[in-house]
Structures are given as C-alpha cells and as structure tokens.
A and B are shown apart, each in its own frame.
Chain A
Amino acid sequence: MNWPAFWLSLQVTALATCGIFVIGLPIAIWLARVKFPGQTLVETALMLPLVLPPSVVGYYLLLALGRGSPLVEWFQIRILFSWPAAVVAAVVVGLPLMIQSSKAALANVDLRLEQAARTLGASELRIFLRITLPLARRGIIAGIVLGGARALGEFGATLMVTGNIPGRTQTLPVAIYDAVQAQRYADAHLMVLVMTAIAFVGLWWVRQLERARPLRSSPVVTEQGEEDATAFAR
C-alpha cells in the first residue's frame, strides 16, 4: 500500500470537494433561477468535462496553468507540477456532476413556497436559507458526493498536470497505474480494493438519499423541533 499517495488523494479530494461545492452551488442557483440568452450554450460547456477525454481536459489545464496564461503572468500562481494542480483537475471534472444534480434539485423547489415566504415577510436570503436550500438539500448533497467521488477517481488530467512525482504529487489512481506498470500487483490489489470500497460507499449513500421520502426533513431538524417545543410546554 502506497500510504503517501493515499493521504495525498484524501487531501486533494477533500479540498476539491470544498471547491466543487463553493463554485458549483452558485452556478447551479444561477442556472436554475435565471433565464438568459445562450443558457443552453453555457450549460453544454459546463458539462463538457464529463464527456471529453481526460487528456483533452489535461491539455486545457496545461494551457490555463502553464507559462503564458494570465494566471501565471498576472497573478503569479504557479501550481503546475505540484499537488494543488491535482486539486484544480479534480474540481474541473467533479463540477459538472455537482451542477447537474443541484440545478435539478433547485429547479424542483415549488416557486409558490417562495412566494408564500415572501408574503410572510421573509427576505430573499432568509427564503434561500430556510426554504429553498433545505428543500433542495438532498440533490445538493448528492451532487457533492458524486463530485467528490469523481474527484477522488480523477486520473488522466491529474497525470498530465502534476507530473507523477512519487511522494509529492502522486495520487492513488496514478499510484495504481504505476504499480501495475512496475508489476507490483500486491500493491495494486490493495489500492484497487480501497478505491472500490470508497466509491461504493459514496454511491450507496447517494442512492439512500434518493430513496428517502421526498417530503421528509432530516431527523436532526425534527428532534430539535420537539426539544424546543417540550421546553416551553413544560
């Protein structure tokens, strides 16, 4: 088992998942709620990383992060061939899943509920936090999990932008590839097993979320409500 690669993979996945959430949610809200010309074009472009070969994504990332790109020339961000580049690659490939899932969930929230909340004196922010977000919660979480799982499994683009330096930029999927190339099958077996287990748990969780009754809120909220209520009923 290649522990440095395992830990690096976890680190990259954790950061990438945060990135997917922070970047993906606003885009999903924007796409679900605002109608604008060229919307289909934007949505198609955002879905591209799902179907493009990883090498193509990697090539674009090399262009974006390499010498001559505005990122490097103006902002002095040099992350090519270091582990943050793996985070960028993971975010790019995980984002479409997050956007797709969250957008569908947000578009599904009944606009009349938001109208009702408006007549009840709620600000737009409060409506979003108390009505829209909780009702779209399941789809958003599913998006995060799927995006995170995709980030964990990212291989091709990562290989191109991180340079596969063992112990420094080598993630678990890349390490598996290396192990197989070097015919270290025992190593590969274990790592493959770990990857499969993580992916399985992630997908299973998403399925559970989708199967849960659509109108039910999470048990945490209910318990809280009951606690509060008995508190003043006493």
Chain B
Amino acid sequence: MQPRLRVELRRRLDQLQLDIRFEMGSEILVLFGPSGAGKTQTLQAIAGLMTPDEGLICLNDTILFRRQSGSPAINLPPRRRRIGYVFQHNALFPHMTALDNVAFPLGNGAQARRRAYDLLERMHLAHLAWRKPHELSGGQQQRVAIARALATESPVILFDESFSALDQPVRDRLHADLRALQAERDLVVIYVTHNLNDAFAIGHRIAIVREGRIEQIGSLPEVCRYPINVRVAQLLGLTNIIRARVIRRDLEGVWLDWQGWQIAAALPAQPPTPGTVVTAFIRPEEIRLVYPDRPLHRFAGHNLLPGRIIERRPGWRLYYLQVAVGETALEIAHPYAAYADLETGLGCHVQIGFRPESVIIIPDGGTTEASAQVADHPSLCHRA
C-alpha cells in the first residue's frame, strides 16, 4: 500500500505563527524557504519533538497527533511514532560504533546487529561498521544517520538540512542514493533546505515556506515556471520582475503596456482584465539580443525593445548582461560563445527580443504589500 502522510498544524511561536498544511504520498517533498520560516519546526511536529497548538497529523490510518475541537486529543510520544529523522548535524551517538548506532532502534541481540549490518551494507558502509562517528567523514556520518533512520522501519524519513555542511560532490552522491532509496522502499521523504540547487537535485515536489505558511506547493518545474505570487517569485530568486498595464487580451495572449512599449505575453490560466496593472517576469536566459543585419526568427517578431548594455558579468555557466531598457534594467544570460559577432561592450546600444511565452504573468495576490516589494526589487531599482 502506498503510504500517505497528512499534516495540518498550527502553533504560535516566538517569532512567527506556524500554519502548515499539506498531504503527500511516496515521494520526496522539499520544504524550501529562508531560515526561520518554520521548516524545522514542521519536521519536529511530525516527529513528535514539538507539540502544535492544534492540528492533525496522520500517517495512513494512524493518527499521530490530533487536537481539534470536537474530537478527543491524541498525541503519540516520539518513541511510539518512530519517524526517521536525520538531523542537521547527524546527531550520531559519539560513544557508539556506526553499527551500534544503527542497531540502536533495533534493540539488542545478534539479530538486531545483523539487520544493522545489512542496512550499513545498503548504504555502502559495511567496511566502516566498527568505526566511531568521529572516525568517519561528514558524508559517511550522514550515511550512518540515514541507515539508523531506516532501521526504525518508518515509512517516513525527515531530513533537516542534513547535507548542507557537505562538499558538493559528496552531496550529489548522497542525493542520488537517497532518490534510489526512496524509490526502492516507497518512502515518504521530507527534505528541508534553503538551497535551490539541492531542491532540484532531490525533489519531486517543492513547498515554498515563508513566515510559517506554505505559499505554494507543486512539482518543481511547475512552481519555478508559474510562481503563484510575487513573494514566491522572489524566494525563488527570479529576476526581471516587471509591472505593466494590460491593454487588451485575445485568444492567443495578452498585450501589455510596459513603459510605453507594447509587449505580448502568453495567456495565463487566469486572464487579467484590461486596464489593470499586473506583475510579470522574464527569465534572463530567454531574452536574446537581436542581430540587426539578420532575418528575425518567427518568435522574435514580437517584443523587440531597444536597450543599452550597462553591466557585463561572467557567471559560472552563463554570461550575464544588464541592459537598460527605458527606466529600468533587464538581466540577460547567454552562453559564453553566443553573440560573438555582436558589439556587446559596455554602453553599446542593442536590440533585445523575447517570445510572448517567456513573459509569465504572476497571479496577483492583489495586495499592496506585493507591489511595495516589487518596488524594492533590485532589477527595478537599477537605473541606466
């Protein structure tokens, strides 16, 4: 049977009001958000290390926690829940060998030790079973911690920034192993991180947590492609967020007035009414420079804007340009080898173009707070 975890919790904390609800099956769900957003507290509530003020936490048909008006309260202690929990600093028992650590939830006796050894073998650590935690590398320690969490037989494993202190290659290997493990055992995995790279490396779905609430939950491409509001867009580090007025809309798309230019945008799921001001973003990778002497591509026929290059910055994979367009600046990312024949020095005047599908209109929360935040956004403040 597919495991199913249902979480609904509210808790008043010092700095924030935690109000989290989600449901998940056998998958890896990434809880992504800035530190202090309530991600760790959510894990603690599921494991039973923190008691919510009210809510309901169910695993399959078992109620782990319930405090709701109208039904008797239930609060299983952590040891009865036995939820696998891999802590930020692995929390291995320093006075026990790797094997003893893994055998700890299994009890005493030769049977327990054999099972623990099998689990270490599964994590490729059988040869280090008799080492103490301080004799293991950071990655190995986390593998022991995972094996120990597996030993609880829990279908749920929670990762609390577990790999954040590890080198990238070690982390990549652990991510790959964890994905394989999850598929192999149909685990319900919740993975807390504030690193978007990690989120993409591991997650099936992502939940954006901000100030104690889940702003948006969905598959990774979906959330990154269609953030539900400006706050999510900013947490995801999206740039080129613009504000524009809707001129008209037809069956194919929406026409926006941005600083006097007409821009074509794809039709969003909830089409905006003409006359309103909407927020949209354009990915830097999807903006191109247009060669003045070459024929235009079909898609480049729209959204041609004049600009002036005001900043050039080499990135890890792409080259970044800041282009002043009217009052504001847009960021453009292009491969190193692109635009070799084009003048792209500082101060050069260029023409930029992007497809209508690249202009994503963010469903407006309608709050003034959202628009206030846009005004603060660096890409808009950046003047030519």
Q: What residues of chain A have their CB less than 8 Å away from a CB belonging to chain B?
A: 110, 112-113, 115-123, 130-131, 134-135, 215-217, 221-222, 225-226, 228-229, 231-232
Contact = CB atoms under 8 A, between A and B. Distances in A.
A66 B281 CA distance: 88
Contact of B79 (A112, A121, A130, A222): A121
B334 interface: no
B183 interface: no
Contact of B91 (A115, A215, A222, A229): A115
A46 B262 CA distance: 82
A122 B79 contact: yes
Interface string B95-112: 111011000110000100
Q: Which of B96, B99, B151 has the most CB of A within 10 A?
A: B96
B99 A225 contact: yes
A121 B114 CA distance: 19
A122 B80 CA distance: 9
Contacts of A115: 49, 78, 87, 91
Contacts of B80: 121
A119 B95 contact: no
A215 B110 contact: no
A121 B152 contact: yes
Contacts of A123: 79
A226 B132 CA distance: 12
B120 to A, nearest CB: 11
B94 A225 contact: no
Given A131-B93, A222-B97, A119 B152 contact: yes
A119 B83 contact: yes
> What interface size band does chain B fall in?
35 or more
A127 to B, nearest CB: 9
Contacts of B110: 228, 231-232
Nearest to B97: A225
A120 B134 CA distance: 21
Nearest to B85: A119
A119 B49 contact: yes
B148 interface: yes
B152 A221 contact: no
A116 B78 CA distance: 9
B49 A122 contact: no
A229 B94 contact: no
Given A120-B105, A130-B104, A232 B114 contact: yes
Contacts of B152: 119-121
A229 B113 contact: yes
A121 B93 CA distance: 15
Nearest to A122: B79
B78 A118 contact: yes
Given A112-B89, A119-B81, A231-B110, 5 more contacts: A112-B91, A113-B91, A118-B49, A130-B93, A232-B117
Contacts, number: 84
A217 B95 contact: yes
B48 interface: yes
Given A118-B79, A119-B49, A120-B104, A221 B91 contact: no
B87 A215 contact: no
B109 to A, nearest CB: 10
8 contacts: A116-B93, A119-B47, A119-B78, A120-B82, A134-B95, A135-B94, A217-B95, A225-B99
Contact of A120 (B129, B130, B148): B148
B84 interface: yes
A212 to B, nearest CB: 12
Nearest to B114: A232
A116 to B, nearest CB: 4
A119 B168 CA distance: 28
Contacts of B114: 232
Interface in B51-104: 77-85, 87, 89, 91, 93-97, 99-100, 104
Contacts of B78: 115, 118-119
Contacts of A120: 79, 82, 104-105, 148, 151-152
Contacts of A118: 48-49, 77-79
Given A120-B152, A122-B79, A221 B130 contact: no
B93 A119 contact: no
A87 B148 CA distance: 47
Q: Which of B78, B85, B95, B105 has the most CB of A within 10 A?
A: B95
B99 A229 contact: yes
Interface in B216-267: none
Contacts of A113: 91, 93-94
B133 to A, nearest CB: 8
A228 B112 CA distance: 12
A135 B99 CA distance: 18
3 A-B pairs with least C-beta separation: A120-B105, A217-B95, A116-B91
A117 B49 CA distance: 11
Given A113-B91, A115-B49, A135-B95, A225 B130 contact: yes
A225 B130 CA distance: 8
Contacts of A131: 93
Nearest to A120: B105
A122 B134 contact: no
Nearest to A214: B94
Contacts of A117: 93, 104
B228 to A, nearest CB: 33
